[in-house]
Structure 1
Amino acid sequence: MSFSLAASHAKGKFATDNIFGANAAAVQAEAKVGKEKVVNATIGAILDDEGVLACLPTVEKVFRALPTVDLVRYSPIPGQPAFLQAAIDMTLGEHKPEAYLDAVATAGGCGVIHHAIWNYTELGDTVLTSDWYWGPYNVLCHDALRKLDTFQLFDEKQNFNLQAFQTKVAGVLAKQDSVLIILNTPAHNPTGYSLSDAEWEGVLQVAKECAQNPAKRIILLVDAAYLEFAGENSECRAFFSKFGQLPQNLLTIVAFSMSKAFTMYGQRVGAMIGISSNKDVIQEFADINQYTSRATWSNINTPAMATMATIYHDAQLKAAVDAERQSFYHLIRERAETFVNEAAEVSLNMLPYRAGFFLSIPAKNPEAVCEKLQEDYIFAVPLAQGIRVAVCAVPAYKIKGMAEKFKQAIAKTE
């Protein structure tokens, strides 16, 4: 064993990220054979049909026009008040639940997950999410000395597996006093699935039944990072109204991210929004999470918060951004529809796609399939049970024919 000075809980840690690893391989291939011949379906960021990283034009205009003081000054630890109000209003829209609300600024959506794990679970606890999930959930749990467990996301009819969810939640609560449940919806990463209203009713019924035991605490974390690309503005937010008048030992946290909603990935700004029927719970939510912010990153990016606040509180700017975002939404939607339609034509098995940046293909040997695809200069991300395809990043003309290539690669590796 090599010599180490690390603390016992840190010893042996190292970062291996399939997403950025696959992207690096795609970039190397582009340098070798040219960008035109490479399909890079790895990174969760919008690229236009020229293969250029896209930014909402009005967002860029406002960001670049900020006064110097907004570029360099500190922000309050909890976040700028105008930004926080905008995050709540924009996320929940016209479907604000009948409940107490508050928000705390975070370093991207990832910061929301970090704070929720740290402040709402005990050391050694198990956090629960679906078996198709964003890989960093596991890293965040392990780094905080917690564990991640999963329930089967889809049943045999490819609907949300409520029975598997109920069984796993009950199992976790039989061993510990609280459970943090992470549900990435709508426009789930990595499958593109969105829970229906009926499925949400089932989830909340399970949570409310568990909350009947006053000694138990249920924390429902809705990772809504892709909300703005999940469909019609009001319809895709309708489920938020269901979070009103819930038991006081059931807290809902919603993760908002400027990375996707404002195409400001590198600015690392998000917000965690707390929803509770109990005023004390929400005051505690604001207190403990800003305390953890101070202990983690202190305060976050002032220019990005100022950009969002400026846009959201100006009707003309907001309308312009909404229109530009819709254009990107339709761009991604058309790419996904091409892939889904071609998959049906060649009988390629894929998970149900509703909206969002990604879709997923089940595979018995994902690593081998991805290696085979790379022979055709197609780069995607291998997961535990299949392959993630970032349709947000692939120009429309390169989408055509991809499903057939996936079908062939899977056949050759099984």
Structure 2
Amino acid sequence: MVKSVAAPQAKGKSAEDKIFGANNRAVALTEKLGADKVINGTVGSMLDEDGNLIMLDVVQKAYKALTPKEIVAYAPIQGYPDYLEAAIDQCFGESRPEGYIRACATSGGSGVLHHVIHNYSEWGDEVLTSDWHWGAYGSMCNDNGRKLREFELLTPDGHFNMESFKANVSDMVAKQYNTVIIMNSPANNPTGYGLSDSEWDEVLAFLKDVVKGKDKNIIFVSDVAYLDYSGEKHECRKFFKKFGNMPDNVLIVVAYTCSKGFTMYGQRMGAMICVTPNKDIADEFVAINQYTSRATWSNSNSAAMKVMANICKDPAKVAELDAERAKYFHLIQERADLFMKEADECGLKYLRYISGFFITIPMEGSQKVCDELEKENIFLVPLGKGIRLAVCSVSKKKIHGLAAKIKATLDAVGAKQ
């Protein structure tokens, strides 16, 4: 029997997940054989066509221009005011919704999710998200004494499953005082799906209706981690306008991150942004969440906030930022288009992809398929109902022929789609 001194609720926890495990094996093999001999489709960061981690040029220059004080000073718990203003502006762009809008700095987008789960759901509550989701959602819920509940994201023909969404929300509203919903759109991880305008309209109209006249609340978390690589800058943000004019008992919280849009993955910088028609709710949002920041990680990364704020103060730098993002958005789309074209040619099914870092191949027996692919030096992420491919990090040269290899392996092991 393994000796343990952990408290009962902490026993059995383990940090390594399937993504990091597969990536670690891919990295080790790459060091042994060379990068040209390994396909690592696990990395959720942008890599260029030579396999190098991308840091936007405008961000590199802004880092090098920081003063010592900007690098090492303690930041305010809520975050620097100029950073918070920049985060709101970068998030919403021309589609800022009506209402009271407040922001608090967080440790990446993960910090937003932690705070919402911690402060807006109760011990033992369920938190709702789609069946296709980032695996850390479940860990965050479990570590806070909550349970992650799933609705079916897609219908068989590849559209948003409104029926499943409504049924799950209605059931939760009947049982809980607060219903926290995490919606990762656009560029859903792991599918690349995003809600259409009409789907957003129906979702938000339903949320208003389901708590109308009730002493119940909806806390709707819009996880936009991949926003800046989901489409044309202004077009992909238009749905934010729909977040205005919601009732008092539907609080919108946007999970904004600098990880992807500013390529500051490891700097752990984000912001939680609320939209509400009620000033008291907005003031409470700041008060309780900056308190939890103080009680969790204290204050946020000063250097990262200053880099972002300094870029956003200069229109020329913002233009450079936009151009670089557009360049890499198109590169990712080219990789995705190539994979989908070849998948269609060989009969490999994939979930509906619109934009984003990942494509998902649905199947039974994903672990067995991934294990076999690793024998061919191909590393992908096994999910409960499929395999995730990171088109953000696999070059077009390596994408070419990959669909056929996956299809052949799938058939060889007898996995079903």
Q: Do both share a fold (TM > 0.5)?
A: yes
CA distance in structure 2 between the aligned counterparts of 1:382 and 1:3, rounded to whole angstroms: 31
Task: Note if 1:316 corresponds to 2:316.
Answer: yes
Aligned residues: 414
Greater displacement, 207-216 / 98-107: 207-216
Q: What is the aligned-residue identity percentage?
A: 50
Which residue does the alignment assign to 2:283? 283
Which residue does the alignment assign to 1:15? 15
Greater displacement, 233-242 / 5-14: 5-14
Aligned partners of 1:211 and 1:247 also within 8 Å: no
CA distance in structure 2 between the aligned counterparts of 1:53 and 1:4, rounded to whole angstroms: 39
Aligned partners of 2:44 and 2:392 also within 8 Å: yes
CA distance in structure 2 between the aligned counterparts of 1:202 and 1:343, rounded to whole angstroms: 32
Q: What whole-Å deviation, never above 9, does each CA across 1:314-339 have from its counterpart, x for those lacking one?
A: 01111111111111111111111100
Residue identity in the other structure for 1:409: T
Which residue does the alignment assign to 1:205? 205
* Aligned-partner SS, 1:261: coil
* Aligned-partner SS, 1:376: coil
CA distance in structure 2 between the aligned counterparts of 1:81 and 1:125, rounded to whole angstroms: 34
CA distance in structure 1 between the aligned counterparts of 2:315 and 2:13, rounded to whole angstroms: 48
Q: What whole-Å deviation, never above 9, does each CA across 1:244-270 have from its counterpart, x for those lacking one?
A: 111100000001111101001110000
What does residue range 13-412 of structure 1 map to in structure 2 within 5 Å? 13-412=13-412
CA distance in structure 1 between the aligned counterparts of 2:72 and 2:176, rounded to whole angstroms: 45
Deviation at 1:213, TM superposition (A): 3.7
CA distance in structure 1 between the aligned counterparts of 2:25 and 2:345, rounded to whole angstroms: 30
Aligned partners of 1:44 and 1:392 also within 8 Å: yes
* Aligned-partner SS, 2:233: coil
Residue identity in the other structure for 2:126: T
Moved over 3 A (4+): none
Deviation at 1:3, TM superposition (A): 2.8
CA distance in structure 1 between the aligned counterparts of 2:229 and 2:53, rounded to whole angstroms: 17
Residue identity in the other structure for 1:211: V
Deviation at 1:76, TM superposition (A): 0.2
Greater displacement, 42-51 / 24-33: 24-33
* Aligned-partner SS, 2:251: strand
Aligned partners of 2:259 and 2:268 also within 8 Å: yes
Instruction: Tell me the C-alpha RMSD between the 2 structures.
Output: 0.9
CA distance in structure 2 between the aligned counterparts of 1:396 and 1:82, rounded to whole angstroms: 39
Name the TM-score, length of structure 2 as normaliser.
0.98
Residue identity in the other structure for 2:256: F
Residue identity in the other structure for 2:388: R
Aligned partners of 2:173 and 2:211 also within 8 Å: no
* Aligned-partner SS, 1:201: helix
Q: What whole-Å deviation, never above 9, does each CA across 1:124-172 have from its counterpart, x for those lacking one?
A: 0000000001000000000000000100111121100000000011111
Aligned partners of 1:311 and 1:318 also within 8 Å: yes
CA distance in structure 2 between the aligned counterparts of 1:167 and 1:303, rounded to whole angstroms: 45
* Aligned-partner SS, 2:271: strand
Aligned partners of 2:187 and 2:226 also within 8 Å: yes
CA distance in structure 1 between the aligned counterparts of 2:202 and 2:48, rounded to whole angstroms: 38
Aligned partners of 2:362 and 2:387 also within 8 Å: yes
Residue identity in the other structure for 1:63: Y
Q: What whole-Å deviation, never above 9, does each CA across 1:368-396 have from its counterpart, x for those lacking one?
A: 11111112211110011101100111111
Aligned partners of 1:207 and 1:218 also within 8 Å: yes
Aligned partners of 1:258 and 1:264 also within 8 Å: yes
Aligned partners of 2:232 and 2:326 also within 8 Å: no
CA distance in structure 2 between the aligned counterparts of 1:408 and 1:205, rounded to whole angstroms: 45
Residue identity in the other structure for 2:301: N
Aligned partners of 2:119 and 2:288 also within 8 Å: yes
Deviation at 1:202, TM superposition (A): 1.4
Residue identity in the other structure for 1:263: T
Name the TM-score, length of structure 1 as normaliser.
0.99
* Aligned-partner SS, 1:253: strand
* Aligned-partner SS, 2:186: coil
Greater displacement, 134-143 / 174-183: 174-183
CA distance in structure 1 between the aligned counterparts of 2:237 and 2:81, rounded to whole angstroms: 23
Deviation at 1:182, TM superposition (A): 0.3
CA distance in structure 1 between the aligned counterparts of 2:267 and 2:363, rounded to whole angstroms: 35
Aligned partners of 1:127 and 1:181 also within 8 Å: yes
Greater displacement, 212-221 / 111-120: 212-221
Aligned partners of 1:151 and 1:165 also within 8 Å: yes
* Aligned-partner SS, 2:260: helix
Deviation at 1:214, TM superposition (A): 2.6
Deviation at 1:31, TM superposition (A): 2.6
CA distance in structure 1 between the aligned counterparts of 2:170 and 2:406, rounded to whole angstroms: 38
Residue identity in the other structure for 1:33: L
Aligned partners of 2:152 and 2:165 also within 8 Å: yes
